[in-house]
Structure 1
Amino acid sequence: MFVSIPTRSIPTLRWATPLLCAVLWVVHLWASTRPEAVEQALMARWGALTGGLLGPQGPMASWADGERGLRLLTALFVHADWAHLLGNLVFLLIFGLPAERVMGPWRLLVLFLVGGTVANLATVMVIDTPDRLVIGASGAVSAVIGTYLALFPRAHLGVVLPLGLFLEFVRAPASLLIGIWAALQIVFAYIGPAFGAVAWSAHISGFAFGVAFALVSRRGIARRLRRRKGY
């Protein structure tokens, strides 16, 4: 069941989405300009490790100190290359800003961080090969996209497209843009720089978390909209 949310303009300060984009950009810029050994060490330190929760010493043993659990969060801020980062930034801006307009910045921030962490947890549980690194904000972006679709199932979004020698502003169905996003994930999985390295479980679980988050939060979002409209 989808949530019906009005799409007319609702004045609000949207800082969470730009802040997240800035942090993701700065972290990758800093890492990519370091020596390769430093960049690889950062990925190894912040990336989430696969292998599930059942370590060789028994259930939860390898997670007892909390380090592997923290990696589920820090992995969101590490990306393999610029293409990996830019793909996430573009769709975070496209779907994050309008979602934040009705959800508010704090709820959007929680959605991104918790949704991304849950998506990474699902990924490390699914991948059987131990000690592989899961990195990137794709699961968190998937959560934002899932929430947006649940809030605005029939919405159209304005995007700027290069048409010939000019940039044109067009309005496209959100479902079409989500389809383009999914197609890009397939491209990067099979012919892109991340060949064979796309964690589909992170996308699916992040998207499902986002839809559930919208359904659970619908009353809180409705109350927020009523307060902003003064009734």
Structure 2
Amino acid sequence: MFVGIPPRQHRRLLWATPLLFATLWVAYVAAALVAPAGRIAATLDWGVLTGGLDSVQAWRNALSDGSVLRLFSGLFLHADWLHLLGNLVFLLIFGLPAERSMGGRRFLLLFLLGGAFSNLAAVLAIGAPDRVVIGASGAVSSVIGAYLALFPSARLGVVLPLGLFLQFVRVPAFLLIGLWALLQLLFAYSGPALGAVAWPAHIAGFLFGVVFALLTRAAIARRLRHNRGY
């Protein structure tokens, strides 16, 4: 398990990350309580359908009937509890320090826009119709990308099993995140065995997070100076 080391500054109430955590959890529990037919219907109604945004006319139709909002609603649906758990863990690890620096509203914007962008990338990359893209993996990937851009020299604590003992060590965050990004690239082109996972969404979300953090870096720096009383 990784533990992010945020920059030192005055502690303020963090609300966006806990809100997203709770919303993702409640949405999954609510879906799990309904019958299988209801879960399938919810996935089809709120998930992102592939093959439907491949032309200008398709975009016009999606904008007019509101189905473009599926790019956002699909973020809050998950295939199973492992899918959800992985996203929640990484959301907490990287989201809390990122939100502490950029603020709740900007962090929420990063999560939603990064997630929508990653879902769109998955739809365009998959190409085949009649598939559904769900999950917050792309949005969480954008948070990880923003974390790397904001804290390039940060170190993460890693618990390593060494024989009968657990050893806690700190390694540069960019090494672990770089390894994570490399795995996403490998999985994206590994063939149909992993085709159920929208790996292009992870990659697109990560890149979106990096760009978002770099574009808003000046505003974030002003916010940090204000918080520290400079």
TM-score (norm 1): 0.84
**Aligned twin of 1:214:** 213
**Aligned twin of 2:45:** 45
Q: Which amino acid aligns with 2:49?
A: L
**Aligned twin of 1:3:** none
RMSD of equivalent CA atoms: 2.8
**Aligned twin of 2:25:** 25
**Aligned twin of 2:3:** none
Residues 155 and 171 of structure 2 are in contact (CA less than 8 Å); yes or no, is this contact kept in structure 1? yes
Distance in 2 (alpha carbons) for counterparts of 1:35 and 1:85 = 19
CA deviation profile, 1:145-203 (whole Å, cap 9, x unmatched): 0000011112112456777888775534323442564587678x98xxx9421112211
**Aligned twin of 1:98:** 97
**Aligned twin of 1:114:** 113
Distance in 2 (alpha carbons) for counterparts of 1:146 and 1:67 = 29
Percent identity of the aligned residues? Answer: 62
**Aligned twin of 2:227:** 228
Distance in 2 (alpha carbons) for counterparts of 1:36 and 1:164 = 44
- Structure 2 SS opposite 1:22: helix
Q: Which amino acid aligns with 2:21?
A: C
Distance in 2 (alpha carbons) for counterparts of 1:212 and 1:111 = 10
Q: Any gaps of 5 or more consecutive residues in structure 2?
A: 1-5
- Structure 2 SS opposite 1:9: coil
1:65-214 equivalences under 5 Å are 65-158=64-157, 170-179=169-178, 181-182=180-181, 195-214=194-213
CA deviation profile, 1:32-69 (whole Å, cap 9, x unmatched): 122111111111111011115235x9453541424321
Distance in 2 (alpha carbons) for counterparts of 1:66 and 1:170 = 52
CA deviation profile, 1:75-126 (whole Å, cap 9, x unmatched): 0000000111111111111100111111111111110011101111121122
**Structure that is richer in helix per residue:** 2
- The alignment covers a number of residue pairs equal to 223
Q: Which amino acid aligns with 1:196?
A: G
Distance in 2 (alpha carbons) for counterparts of 1:206 and 1:127 = 15
Distance in 1 (alpha carbons) for counterparts of 2:137 and 2:151 = 21
Residues 17 and 100 of structure 1 are in contact (CA less than 8 Å); yes or no, is this contact kept in structure 2? yes
Q: Any gaps of 5 or more consecutive residues in structure 1?
A: 1-5
- Structure 2 SS opposite 1:65: helix
Which sits farther off after the overlay, 137-146 or 157-166? 157-166
Q: Which amino acid aligns with 2:43?
A: M
Q: Which amino acid aligns with 1:226?
A: R
CA separation of 1:162/1:105 partners in 2, compared to 1, >3 Å: closer, same or farther? farther
